[in-house]
Every structure is written in C-alpha cells, then in structure tokens.
C-alpha cells in the first residue's frame, strides 16, 4: 500500500514574489465554454442550500447557483422560470429516463446548465445519461457531471461528454460516506488527480474557511462548491425555527442535511429502503445572516491568496502554487492561538 492522500489541513501554500500593486487588481473570473463567471463559487444543489433565492443571489454576485432536484418536475420548472439570470443558474437531475425527462422539461423553459448529480459518478448509468443529453442537445447545453474522486472517474465522464466534472466523495460537511463505506479520496489529492483530465473542475466538499477555497483552486479546481458554509444563511430554503438556547435565550436555527441522509430519504424517496444505509446527516444550524457576507469573506481570501502567490489570475495561481506538507503543530501555529495565555481585558 503506497498511495498517499492529502486534504486541505495537511498542506500550506508557500508565499512567492508579488509584483501586484493591490489585491483589487487580481482577476477571479472563470470562463467555461464561452460563459464567464466573475467569481469561482457555486452554491450546492442541496434542498437546504439552493432554492430560487440562493440561485438568484449567487448569479447576481457573479457565480453560479445550482437548483436542487428534490421536488416535482413542475416545481423545478417554476423555480427555474423565476430565476433572474437563466444563463448563470444550473439545474440538477438524477440518472436514467426520469432524469432525462426532468432535463427535457427544464431545457424547454430555457435551462442551459444541467448537472447530472449522483454520489458515485463513475458509473454506467451516469455515462448513459450524459450521452443521452449530449445526443439530444449537442453543444447547446453545458453538462456538469459527478461526483468522482480519481483520474479514471474524471476521464470516464469526460469521454461520455461532460463539460464540467464535479470532484469530491465523502468530503462534504453533512456526508458520512467514508465512515459508512470506507471509500473516498482526501479532497486535495482528488483534485490533483482529476486535473489531469482536460475539463473544467468543480471542487465539491470540504470548504470550511476561505483558505480551503484558495487551496482547492491552487490544486487545480476551476470553481468551488459551497454547501455547509452557506447553511443557515437567510437565502437558504426552509423556515426559521426558534429553539431554547443553553443560556435560556431563544435562538433561531434552520435545517441543514445531506441529500443521502435518512431525513432527506424520508422526505423525497418515501423512506429509507431496508437494503441501504444513510450516508448523510441532518442537523440544525444557527441562522447566520446573508450568504452575501459568506461569499464576500471567501472572495476576500481568494483575492488576498492570489497576491501571496504573485498571481493575477486563478490560472496563474495553479501554475505558480507550491504546496508544503505540514505537521499538526504547524497547523495549530497558523490559527489564532495567541489568546491562550492572555489576561482578559477589563470591561
């Protein structure tokens, strides 16, 4: 056994010479098949992350929102028809005949970005679905497909006709695939392996801090998908719930769940079949303000990260980036640790 996998916390990016006057001067845009996205961020196609409001916000900020598919086709169509920038909002489908039928209904009302989305994308049924879509729509529709975590998986989807490949198995904040099945690839290594395929890559999963997004882009991702970090923001679907906090005060929360969780299966699949297990969790997270603030923070980190590398663009970052593997002690050193022995300030 000689394989070695690394994830975001295992590495740091080494600073390089910077000749850029200001981080305002860097370019964060990404071009995908003649479409330009001003920021490399995508909101996850989860039912507790991306509905119409989130999709509209992400497209207005220059990124992409992918509407979830866990609703009727009619509701999916109605959501998409209400989108402000239809060329920057993606729609999600499953596999097989029903998935293609959903795609047909959405393309008929103007959808141009179709995400074929399953937990294990390196599979025959995903291949068949992509080929069916490509045959029907030629190059008129942008096809995203995933998820995969290896070069072989990415190459398989590219050969089927995918334009964009979604990378990440088991790295999501509400995912339990690795502890249930033992399978997955640490996210940084997965990106580096999949980047060998000549396709646009989306890093899906594992983003907790702006630095994780910078590392994902430096490793070879063209765009980064956000799920858990957007959970609880005002633009996510779902009602605001009041709970009793530990200090007796009322707190506001929203639901956040993985799409392979028991709760999601109960809601959309008529329950969990007795022949399978849940590969996700459901939780309540505090209401945390607008997703705009989350995006602003991550984009600030990306712009600053580009200048630490002396990179004007994301492609420059990927060309110049030098990763260093670090110890757990080095990781602790890089966190706000200075308060451990400090004297509290007087009120």
| Gap between the Cα atoms of 64 and 152, Å rounded | 27
Beta-bridge mates of residue 284: 255
| Gap between the Cα atoms of 315 and 306, Å rounded | 10
| Gap between the Cα atoms of 97 and 100, Å rounded | 5
Q: Distance of alpha carbon 173 from its chain centroid, rounded?
A: 11
Among residues 71, 115, 175, 194, the one annotated as catalytic is 175
Q: Specify whether 175 is catalytic.
A: yes
Q: Are 246 and 221 in contact, with CB atoms under 8 Å apart?
A: no
Question: E strands within 68-216?
Answer: 89-93, 113-117, 142-148, 164-167, 200-204
Quick one: which H or E segment has residue 323? strand 323-325
187 closest CA partner among 5, 42, 4, 7: 7
Query: What residues are labeled active site?
Result: 175
């Amino acid at each position: 056994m000689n394989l070695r996998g690394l994830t975001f916390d295992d590495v740091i990016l080494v600073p390089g010479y910077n000749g850029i006057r200001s981080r305002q001067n860097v370019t964060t845009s990404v071009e995908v098949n003649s479409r330009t996205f001003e920021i490399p961020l995508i909101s996850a196609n989860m039912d507790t992350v991306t509905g119409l409001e989130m999709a509209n916000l992400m497209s207005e900020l220059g990124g992409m929102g992918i509407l979830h598919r866990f609703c009727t086709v009619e509701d999916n169509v109605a959501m998409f028809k209400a989108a402000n920038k239809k060329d920057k909002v993606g729609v999600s489908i499953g596999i097989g005949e029903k998935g293609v039928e959903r795609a047909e209904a959405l393309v008929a009302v103007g959808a141009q970005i179709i995400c074929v989305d399953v937990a294990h994308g390196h599979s025959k049924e995903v291949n068949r679905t992509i080929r069916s879509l490509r045959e029907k729509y030629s190059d008129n529709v942008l096809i995203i497909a995933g998820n995969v975590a290896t070069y072989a998986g990415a190459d398989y989807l590219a050969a089927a006709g995918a334009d964009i490949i979604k990378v990440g198995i088991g790295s999501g904040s509400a995912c339990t695939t690795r502890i249930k099945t033992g399978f997955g690839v640490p996210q940084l290594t997965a990106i580096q392996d999949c980047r060998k395929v000549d396709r646009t890559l989306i890093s899906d999963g594992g983003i907790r801090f702006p630095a994780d997004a910078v590392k994902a882009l430096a490793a070879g991702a063209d765009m980064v998908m956000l799920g858990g970090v957007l959970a609880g923001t005002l633009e996510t679907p779902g009602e605001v719930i009041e709970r009793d906090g530990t200090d007796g005060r009322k707190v506001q929360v929203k639901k956040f769940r993985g799409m392979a969780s028991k709760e999601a299966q109960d809601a959309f699949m008529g329950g969990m079949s007795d022949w399978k297990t849940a590969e996700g969790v459901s939780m309540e997270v505090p209401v945390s303000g607008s997703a705009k603030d989350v995006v602003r923070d991550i984009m600030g980190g990306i712009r600053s990260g580009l200048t630490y590398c002396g990179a004007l663009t994301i492609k420059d970052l990927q060309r110049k980036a030098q990763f260093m593997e670090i110890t757990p002690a080095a990781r602790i050193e890089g966190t706000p640790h200075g308060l451990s022995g400090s004297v509290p300030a007087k009120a």
